[in-house]
Structure 1
């Protein structure tokens, strides 16, 4: 296991013993940093807890004692913990730096980093970039919000390797020195405002992906996004746009081809992913990979075979004459609007979930092809009001099994049954993955 190099702190407090907290604490302690972990609900007899205690890490559970900050030079927090948390806000009041574990990559990985952020499409684009690189060379690693903890992955890399990291706004907000050689910013839509409080705070968190870039780096940005595009004027990095209309610079497309700097890279009709939003993801991935010299053959091999990531407009089955798609990762209105735009066939839409206080009026223009809504969760009543205003038939259900059965009964041959909730899952499920898996099981058992 590699140790942190030139890490300027001798003591650390880790708040939150989830995957990232465990990885950070283990790494810090192994690097000679005196480490304490604080978690309200952690089981002190769990395998993780016992492993950390055996390594010399102190574990404090059940409360957030401020005395733990007395000897902490830096605080590493779980990305999901809000800054209003009493321990976090007290650390900030004392001017103790607060970071997320991805910051530790700065002291581990000496090779290139491709960082990918955006409100939607991060996982798909990260996966595309990773697979294109793997098809072209060795020494490629993927990490971050997509799955494996970044500071764990960075312990396995060499200076010749490339790390592809999916970066959420929660993770980026806790970075200081993280350097991204190739920054990809896909888009920006209102999201996670319950966490960031304001749109400007959210934008600022995303923009931290650019904070340490130099003239040797590249910033790949969405020229079609009015919020993201202006940032190319505020970076030292070389700016590389991607756009859905043909241009001679950067990644672009017309109805027949995908291009990079005017050169044909791939044929659009052979790309498996559906939807214009996915063409944008493909363009971003092409721009990132061409920027490090990936061959067209490697890019094509991925674009012509990749069917999508789990829970993101994932094709599930063709059953009893219906097409079933799982888009459980659509946790906001824009993601669901993208999903609806991807289909020309009539759609029965399964939607609903955690109520974050927003209305769903923005979804209205995208519901023209929806023949029925199947609604569940905390937002069912709000979506019902929308359905009534648009004269779309609807059904309210209490379980995913019931949702799939009712959707099937309300559909006809050659139609699409789509789970795309437009809401987070936490009112009924622990994760969007759990929600999507339950949908898949209900389809398979239909």
Structure 2
């Protein structure tokens, strides 16, 4: 960890806890800042806040009072989940108080170069593939960020011998100032999180922040099949390296005659890859590009791609029972992600879907339901999804209370060689704290089947 002094004796507000807030508060306290933590959860129900108080950090819980700004903070480290529409955050913006997320802290203290991965879909798979390929090549990678491990915690142990592979959300990228990855990746860009960002323009701008501080010495890997993405990052100073699943590229990564190709060099046959789905081919090409830039050999790449079957909650194989195969795609929190999962299968699918109602309809999902023989629906969006299913001609549609009940219901509807797929097309927050919790409940329910 770099020995930095820029936060020493500064009054800093850490707004919102969860994992990133706890780590940020402790780190800033260690770096000599006068830290105040503000979290919405009441103190008596808040073990994180209680632990920080024991460290000597000032803690205010139960609400986000705007009056806190009277204390003269010089910096706010905001939990990514708290929107900028929050009155306290709005007040800070009006006062000109800088607002960052903990990824900025991680960058400032890290001795390791960073590989930053963002995009609407595919971030976690791409991040994990890069980590696995670097590890296979006997590098010393560290994995962090939105994937589950707090970046500023990992950065504290990182050395110049490491490479930090960091998954980044649009929420995190809105709060950067100097963050500059050596290699940045934008997997794809589709309309998402408009309940947080308000507009497509703001969402896209947040994603493009990943490259705003890059220089001519850095690399930006982008999906060449999306013209709107290419247009978005024209301002970058980084060297752009594209990838494409739709056409052969002499510069970058693509597919030619059934082979993965990078800069004209064949790496391996596509049919040797263990991970199913065209959407995953995008993720693979992005990951291959990153590790080739870093000098990883083809054998290390091949060994990973021949065995890697996916990340937990991302089209994850769970179990085969009586020739019915179960997949957990709980991370599919939007229509596009669910559509990508459905496209990965040629077998008949029983789709388990539903969740938080963000106000959208599901008409865009209809073209991808051709292979769906039955739907088992739950959550706030069950009625809307049923309407989409009826319009697509799905004849067997059932509604149940939750994911746990959906699993046996789907099994009863199934026959041999069917795919039973949890791909909700919705966020989990109407019933479950996270998509991980939802996916774990699905897995547990599958293993309980008799």
Normalised by the shorter chain, which TM-score bucket? Answer: over 0.9
Q: Distance in 2 between matches of 1:378 and 1:397?
A: 11
Which residue number corresponds to residue 133 of structure 1? 134
3-state SS in 2 of match to 1:302: helix
Q: Give CA deviations for 1:32-69 in whole Å, capped at 9, x if unaligned.
A: 11100011214357553343223321001123333432
Which residue number corresponds to residue 250 of structure 2? 248
Q: Distance in 1 between matches of 2:119 and 2:379?
A: 26
Coordinate RMSD, CA, aligned:
1.5
Q: 1:284-433 maps to which residues of 2 (within 5 A)?
A: 284-393=286-395, 394-433=397-436
Residues 3 and 30 of structure 1 are in contact (CA less than 8 Å); yes or no, is this contact kept in structure 2? Answer: no
Are residues 323 and 48 of structure 1, via their aligned partners in 2, closer, same or farther at CA, if it must alter by over 3 Å?
same
Which residue number corresponds to residue 152 of structure 1? 153
Q: Give CA deviations for 1:215-273 in whole Å, capped at 9, x if unaligned.
A: 00000000012221224532110010001132211111135211110101222111100
Using the size of structure 2 for normalisation, the TM-score is 0.96
Are residues 210 and 417 of structure 1, via their aligned partners in 2, closer, same or farther at CA, if it must alter by over 3 Å?
same
Matched, 1:16 2:16: yes
Q: Which runs of 5+ in 1 are unaligned?
A: none
Which residue number corresponds to residue 106 of structure 2? 105
3-state SS in 1 of match to 2:155: helix
Residues 319 and 327 of structure 2 are in contact (CA less than 8 Å); yes or no, is this contact kept in structure 1? Answer: yes
Q: Distance in 2 between matches of 1:415 and 1:162?
A: 41
1:2 to partner: Cα distance: 5.7
Which residue number corresponds to residue 54 of structure 1? 54
Q: 1:175-324 maps to which residues of 2 (within 5 A)?
A: 175-244=176-245, 245-324=247-326
Between stretches 191-200 and 64-73, larger displacement belongs to 64-73
Which residue number corresponds to residue 120 of structure 2? 119
Residues 3 and 27 of structure 1 are in contact (CA less than 8 Å); yes or no, is this contact kept in structure 2? Answer: no
3-state SS in 2 of match to 1:120: coil
Q: 1:438 aligns with which of 427, 436, 441?
A: 441
Q: Distance in 2 between matches of 1:9 and 1:179?
A: 26
Which residue number corresponds to residue 36 of structure 2? 36
Q: Distance in 1 between matches of 2:359 and 2:86?
A: 21
Are residues 44 and 75 of structure 1, via their aligned partners in 2, closer, same or farther at CA, if it must alter by over 3 Å?
farther
Residues 208 and 233 of structure 2 are in contact (CA less than 8 Å); yes or no, is this contact kept in structure 1? Answer: no
Residues 107 and 155 of structure 2 are in contact (CA less than 8 Å); yes or no, is this contact kept in structure 1? Answer: no
Equivalent pairs counted in the alignment come to 446
Residues 255 and 268 of structure 1 are in contact (CA less than 8 Å); yes or no, is this contact kept in structure 2? Answer: no
Q: Distance in 2 between matches of 1:215 and 1:172?
A: 21
Q: Give CA deviations for 1:264-321 in whole Å, capped at 9, x if unaligned.
A: 1222111100000001100000001111111111111111111100000000111022
Residues 240 and 249 of structure 1 are in contact (CA less than 8 Å); yes or no, is this contact kept in structure 2? Answer: yes
Between stretches 404-413 and 276-285, larger displacement belongs to 404-413
Residues 219 and 232 of structure 1 are in contact (CA less than 8 Å); yes or no, is this contact kept in structure 2? Answer: no
Residues 5 and 107 of structure 1 are in contact (CA less than 8 Å); yes or no, is this contact kept in structure 2? Answer: no
3-state SS in 2 of match to 1:219: strand
Q: Distance in 2 between matches of 1:317 and 1:279?
A: 23
Q: Which runs of 5+ in 2 are unaligned?
A: none
Q: Distance in 1 between matches of 2:400 and 2:237?
A: 52
Residues 4 and 27 of structure 1 are in contact (CA less than 8 Å); yes or no, is this contact kept in structure 2? Answer: no
Q: Distance in 1 between matches of 2:16 and 2:6?
A: 25
Residues 224 and 230 of structure 2 are in contact (CA less than 8 Å); yes or no, is this contact kept in structure 1? Answer: yes
Q: Distance in 1 between matches of 2:100 and 2:304?
A: 35
Q: Distance in 1 between matches of 2:408 and 2:388?
A: 23
Could you list the structure 1 runs, at least 4 aligned residues long, displaced by more than 6 angstroms after superposition.
none
3-state SS in 2 of match to 1:143: strand
3-state SS in 2 of match to 1:227: helix
Residues 8 and 32 of structure 2 are in contact (CA less than 8 Å); yes or no, is this contact kept in structure 1? Answer: no
Q: Distance in 2 between matches of 1:284 and 1:108?
A: 27
1:381 to partner: Cα distance: 0.7
